[in-house]
Structure 1
Amino acid sequence: MMTFRRTMLIGLVILLGLPLPALAQLCVQDDASQQVCLKQPARRIIALSPGATELLFAAGAGEQLAAAVSFSDYPPAAQKLPRVGSYQRLDLEAIVALKPDLIVAWRSGNPMGDVARLQDMGFPVYISEPRQFEDVSATLERFGVLAGTELVAQGAANGFRAGIAALRERYADAAPVTVFYQVWDDPLMTVNDSHLISEAIRICGGVNVFGGLGALAPRISREAVLEKNPQAIVAGGMGEDNPAWLTPWKAFPSLLAVQKGNLFFVAPSTLQRPTPQMLAGTRTLCRHLESARARH
């Protein structure tokens, strides 16, 4: 849709004999409220987080990716990309050597000092930080503009919106279930209500027992979990099929979640990265919380 409109606009400008420079740039606003402009669609993109890599592939820009960071493992084609360090320890020399025409950074994950250095060197940097499901769709659309893949990106964005809307409607009147979501094991960590995972919990009729904490991903103690006594415990685990983090909670039979058998696993790639896979992860989470309601 956006490509068609742009083509029509260029045609109109030529027909009217107007100058073209105003159309020479592709501009979007990133999640740091910065304007990111390119003179032409990006052809050498570097993604500085696994989530950004996945979003770029979903937006149809996979073939334009020149490199990514470690743990960028989805889709499978992402595993073949050259690595430029990890999201926490960027290899600036390798990034510069690849001469990217677009870098996608992760605001709360990358060392922002390094990101600023890349900007100072003149590299276009899009800073990404989706905090709501609508942000995921909007990011897909923006990447489509910057990569010249608007049609694919728009389709992915619309599909994600429709799927999330269907879940909202289905569970709008669901009885609330108190939930502890375990995002990490050692140290024990969760998420607050500003985190995207908490939006998934709310859509499914859940109530995040640590939602009011100030940090986005706060550290907590097992004693704090025992005090909150959630009806359900949901963990992401260390792998796609490894619910081992749930086992230690069975040592606390006083927990409602343990008593009712409400210890649930959701594959981390489907709920802990801000990508379209969160639709599948949210569906899984909703099914788990529906099981918890049935056992109430």
Structure 2
Amino acid sequence: MRAAAFALVARSIARFVAQLAFAAVALGPCAARATVTAIDDAGNTVTLPAPAQRVVSLAPHVTELLYAAGGGAKLVGAVAYSDYPPEAQHVPRVGDNRALDLERIATLKPDLIVVWRHGNAQQQLDRLRALHIPLFFSEPHELDDVATSLTRLGALLGTDATAQAAAAAYRRDIAQLRARYARRAPVSVFYEVWDQPLMTINGSHMISDVIALCGGRNIFAALKPLVPTVSTEAVLAANPDAIVTASQGATSPDRPLPSLERWRAWPALAAVAHGNLFAVDGDLLTRPTPRIAQGAAQLCGDLEHTRSRDAASH
């Protein structure tokens, strides 16, 4: 009887130990994945105790990145002009990039806020820090940074597979454009951000990276401010082959925006003489998101028109 009882107890202990081992194996991966970490564009290490479930976006490009990374369903608040993808238009608004509704943000109880590093006002950021909610700063500078942003956000959202796939597709699109235009004849480009005052971009701006991708040369790349003010005389002296600006929606190359029409006052300007005044859909070119590959394709096509028109004129 004692031997039988001992055997019964031994079997019970063995089953209990086996159950513990099974639980450890089952829970082990979950425990390992509980804490998530990513480095943001300010160089900060952002660590969350678990993948974010309630996220607030403080810039339209951030909203696009979050959706592309697979986190659209976790977005509980976004700023004005967060209009892509279409479902983003239904996300509750928390102000715009400079005037945030901090009370509304706090009420939404986010476990992650994604901030535009230099686009959100510093005073607002200081007040956000007082809420003790993790902040991830987003400000991609180069084309390759878009893919990096996707994977980092995917890590914090717990949507790695979706983010990695989106990053891979974006990298393929950019690589194809690089391969296609790498050896094309250079085209000098003036990119017009604004006409009054006349503003452009320097070589550190992502749009300048797009121009280079297409075989173009930003005539004001060497200037120090990211978005410098320039004179009409400086543009005339540089005599660019093409003048490009952003528009709301697509426009026809033969019907440039009024801001570009002003350049027709100087018919000897190369861009005017050869009809190389172009407007690219701003949402595809000015937002550092996967859609910038589409904007790059449009700009590359415009610069290809420039090459063919310039060649025909000689």
Could you give the per-residue CA deviations for residues 257-295 of structure 1, whole angstroms, max 9, x where no partner exists?
000000011000001000001100001111111111112
CA contact (8 A) 1:13 1:20 kept: no
Residue 74 (1) aligns with residue 84 (2)? yes
Change (3 A) 1:174 1:154: same
Partner residue, 1:195: 205
Residue 246 (1) aligns with residue 270 (2)? no
The aligned amino acid for 2:249 is E
Residue 211 (1) aligns with residue 221 (2)? yes
SS state of the match for residue 84, structure 1? coil
Identity of paired residues, percent? 48
Partner residue, 1:136: 146
CA contact (8 A) 1:260 1:295 kept: yes
CA contact (8 A) 1:270 1:280 kept: yes
CA contact (8 A) 1:13 1:19 kept: no
Could you give the per-residue CA deviations for residues 177-218 of structure 1, whole angstroms, max 9, x where no partner exists?
000111223332211111111111001000000111111111
Partner residue, 1:61: 71
Q: Name the CA distance, whole Å, in 2 between partners of 1:91 and 1:60.
A: 26
Partner residue, 1:258: 272
TM-score (structure 2 length as normaliser) = 0.86
Q: Name the CA distance, whole Å, in 1 between partners of 2:57 and 2:26.
A: 40
Q: 1:127 aligns with which of 120, 126, 137?
A: 137
Shift of 1:93: 1.8
Change (3 A) 1:13 1:227: farther
Question: Aligned pairs, how many?
Answer: 285
Could you give the per-residue CA deviations for residues 130-161 of structure 1, whole angstroms, max 9, x where no partner exists?
01111100101111111111111111100000
The aligned amino acid for 2:281 is A
Change (3 A) 1:99 1:201: same
Q: Name the CA distance, whole Å, in 1 between partners of 2:46 and 2:302.
A: 40
The higher radius of gyration belongs to: 2
Could you give the per-residue CA deviations for residues 83-109 of structure 1, whole angstroms, max 9, x where no partner exists?
111112222222112111110101121
Q: 1:289 aligns with which of 293, 298, 303?
A: 303
Change (3 A) 1:290 1:160: same
The aligned amino acid for 1:108 is H
Choose between structure 1 and 2: higher helix proportion. Answer: 2
Change (3 A) 1:56 1:235: same
CA contact (8 A) 1:50 1:73 kept: yes
The aligned amino acid for 1:275 is T
Q: Name the CA distance, whole Å, in 1 between partners of 2:27 and 2:84.
A: 46
Give the alignment of 1:82-161 within 5 angstroms. 82-161=92-171
Could you give the per-residue CA deviations for residues 164-184 of structure 1, whole angstroms, max 9, x where no partner exists?
011111111111100011122
The aligned amino acid for 2:38 is V
Deviation larger for 177-186 or 150-159: 177-186
Q: What runs of 5+ residues in structure 2 fail to find an aligned partner?
A: 1-20, 252-256
Shift of 1:23: 4.6
CA-atom RMSD in angstroms: 2.1
Partner residue, 2:293: 279
Q: What runs of 5+ residues in structure 1 fail to find an aligned partner?
A: 1-10
Shift of 1:13: 11
